[in-house]
Chains A and B, each alone.
Chain A
Amino acid sequence: MGAYVSNILFGILFFSLVGLFTRNIRRVIRNIKLGTAANRYDQPKKRWLHMARIALGQSKMVRKPLSGLLHVIVYVGFVVINIELLEIIVDGFLGTHRVFAPFLGGFYNVLIATFEVFAALVLVSVILFWTRRNVMRIKRFWRAEMKGWPKWDADIILYAEVVLMGLFLTMNASDYWLQINTQDPHYLTAGSFPVSQWILPLFDGLGVAQVVAVERISWWLHITGILLFLNYLYYSKHLHIILAFPNTWFAKLAPQGQFTNMPEVTDEVKLMLDPNADPYAAPASDVAPSTFGAADVADLNWVQLMNAYSCTECGRCTAECPASQTGKKLSPRKIMMDTRDRLSEVGAALNKGKQPNANTLLDNYISREELWACTSCNACVEACPIAIDPLSIISDMRRYLVMEQSAAPTGLNNMMSNVENNGAPWPFNRQDRIAWRDEINISK
């Protein structure tokens, strides 16, 4: 019975941590569904292509060549090395060692060698990423909204990857040492170790038992680390490694300049313009009175809420934003971070079976000053590597300010009353629209 202790331990570890992650992902999905409806299931072919190009193909990441290349390495490395995870899990359950090796023969060596090369490349890239953040202190990583937890979060991810890659290579190196220095059939000759072979000298002078201990400890720490990292995603901007895919699939496909026409407004405007409409007719009773625009997360649609969970806070949006570049308070990245923070706050209350507190996204998180600084230029939308749309949130919140609160800045109120009265944003006489014709030297 004692022989099965490690299998059982592994089973408990695996199922409890995967189970915890599943529960948390369900909470994310529940929170996203707090948003209003948005039909983003049209044009599926285009959507698959969009996802393939932007998420799978990283087409927008590489617009910045250096960080793009580093990111592609870490991304491909992550996907490739995770193939090894499959073997580790099977080994964990069955108590086997390198269970795939006998089936794959020479190809197994190719696989392990590839994993090792990627592990080394990932290590280098992650160290460069850390250097860009902490030594070169690239400006977009140091804006106000990055203080505190977001800064920690970014660094923790990088440290975790260094530790995991280090454990992976140590595990391989000690295994390789045991393959060479013992005749134990448990350590069958399998794999090719182009990177970790350079670690072997570290084991000089150690006994077999000690190297076995190193191998076991790094094996266990590696898989435990991966399962913990998986659970970390829920609390972190790193959730983007999963959500980037649905986020690009459900992205807006219409031209960026096209804002939605609110259907609930269309109904009312049609009624107003219809000379035959009965002004005293009772409104259709099954229509719940809705809020115009968004004051809180539940007023946003579910795609906008998914956007918030997908944001990895790279700040490319903010770096391109004309308002941010000229020192205004608005930062599109902060809009996304605030939306996620507020949604998490609401979600945390729901987890406890309570009603969310009286905070709202507007004012408690996002100030009016930020919203009014936007030029709707779409630079943030264009810059986002995974097709997040901060502008749509800004626009919906402006709609709330104007249509629910009549709280537009004075200049805009003047503009709007001019449009209403004169059909132009300035107080000119409509008849003068054609005045330029008299200033032109042509006969009509």
Chain B
Amino acid sequence: MAELAAQGKQPEVLFWVGCAGSFDDRAKKITKAFVKLLLKAEISFAVLGPEESCTGDPAKRAGNEFLFQMQAMTNIEVLNGYEIKKVVTACPHCFNTLKNEYPGLGGHYEVVHHTQFLKQLLDQGKLKVEGGQFKGKRITFHDPCYLGRANNEYQAPRDVLTKLEGELIEMKSCKAKGLCCGAGGAQMFKDAEAGNKEINIKRTEQALETKPDIIAAGCPFCNTMMTDGVKNKEKEGAIAVMDIAELVQQAEDL
């Protein structure tokens, strides 16, 4: 972004990569897939790179409002400095925080989730999926809490999957009743409390009931949790856990 700004240019959209998308090896693949799609669709975009910092979501959910607001205000200063109008992100937690919690602190942007963005690109014909690579493949979609219940977006990821011509099969708890993967509310970073089962195992069992070829996700943390769950069930050879962006990228054969 700094380079673009130095040239006096303004991108159409800022891609907020997020910490998982920047550092986590699995999530970096999602970042790369999404970037390839943006390039293919000839979208003018930028990333903040080293100037990006955690949105503060995990701190806020953990209860550290100070740290959250420090992060938020620092980020808002950067974003406003570059006069950013529109932000796209592949992480529902960043999405929720940027969209809902930044405006109150002076950060007003049009924020979209990457599944919404990809749906638009497909609708506009800027991306085309051909070849029917997923024809006959059973795909089940795991709703991220912070995209679904938190922000009422259930349809965009499903629309993208339908365009891929896969066979979309719903789990018994889906959409508003979707079960959490177990990572939200900063649980990703701590040990679970004592219980009789890990949440991600329970959710993976629900996914396996649909006998899927692919478990589609729209969140890097859900992706990790479901991948771990599938490994726990020793199904990693048969079932792939993939982000919506990766599926579109595969269909695009990029």
Contacts and interface: CB of A to CB of B under 8 A. Distances in A.
Contact of A402 (B53, B63, B195): B63
A328 B187 CA distance: 13
A325 B194 contact: no
Given A325-B179, A402-B63, A423-B54, A379 B193 contact: no
A416 B59 contact: yes
A400 B184 CA distance: 19
A419 B54 CA distance: 7
A374 B145 CA distance: 13
A398 B59 CA distance: 11
Q: Which of B19, B99, B202 has the most CB of A within 10 A?
A: B19
A273 B70 contact: yes
Contact of B197 (A257, A268, A272, A326): A326
B44 interface: no
A256 B184 CA distance: 14
A412 B62 contact: yes
A367 B51 CA distance: 40
Q: Which of A255, A270, A430 has the most CB of B within 10 A?
A: A255
Interface string B184-202: 1111111111111111001
A365 to B, nearest CB: 17
A433 B52 contact: yes
Interface residues on A, range: 35 or more
Contacts of A397: 63
B191 to A, nearest CB: 6
B176 interface: yes
B199 A269 contact: no
Contacts of A419: 54, 56, 58-59, 67, 71
A330 interface: yes
A400 B63 contact: yes
Interface in A72-124: none
Interface stretch (B30-38, B80-88, B161-169): B30-38
A395 B68 CA distance: 14
Nearest to A439: B32
Given A323-B199, A382-B149, A328 B192 contact: yes
B73 A270 contact: yes
A290 interface: no
B201 to A, nearest CB: 8
A328 B50 contact: no
Contacts of B54: 419, 423-425
Interface in B150-166: 150-152
Contact of A403 (B56, B64, B96): B64
Q: Which of B22, B100, B198 has the most CB of A within 10 A?
A: B22
A327 interface: yes
B8 interface: no
Nearest to B70: A269
B174 to A, nearest CB: 12
Interface in A320-348: 320, 322-323, 325-330
Interface residues on B, range: 35 or more
A254 B96 CA distance: 12
Q: Which of B28, B49, B63, B198 has the most CB of A within 10 A?
A: B63
B69 A411 contact: no
B207 interface: no
Contacts of A442: 35-36, 39
B39 A399 contact: no
Contacts of A412: 62, 186, 189-190
Contacts of A25: none
A431 B180 CA distance: 32
Given A326-B196, A419-B58, A423-B54, A262 B65 contact: yes
A67 to B, nearest CB: 15
B5 to A, nearest CB: 15
Interface string B205-234: 000000000000000000000000000000
B141 interface: no
B63 A401 contact: yes
A327 B197 contact: yes
Given A411-B189, A436-B31, A440-B35, A327 B196 contact: yes
B147 to A, nearest CB: 9
Nearest to A268: B66
Contacts of B183: 375
B189 A377 contact: no
Interface string B7-46: 0000000000101011110001001100110010000000
A249 interface: no
Given A270-B73, A419-B59, A323 B186 contact: no
A373 B196 contact: no
B63 A328 contact: no
Interface string A408-428: 111110111001100111101
Interface of B: 17, 19, 21-24, 28, 31-32, 35-36, 39, 47-50, 52-54, 56, 58-67, 69-71, 73-74, 96, 99-101, 104-105, 145-146, 149-152, 176-177, 179-180, 182-199, 202-203
10 contacts: A257-B151, A292-B65, A327-B194, A373-B195, A419-B58, A419-B59, A419-B71, A425-B58, A439-B32, A442-B36
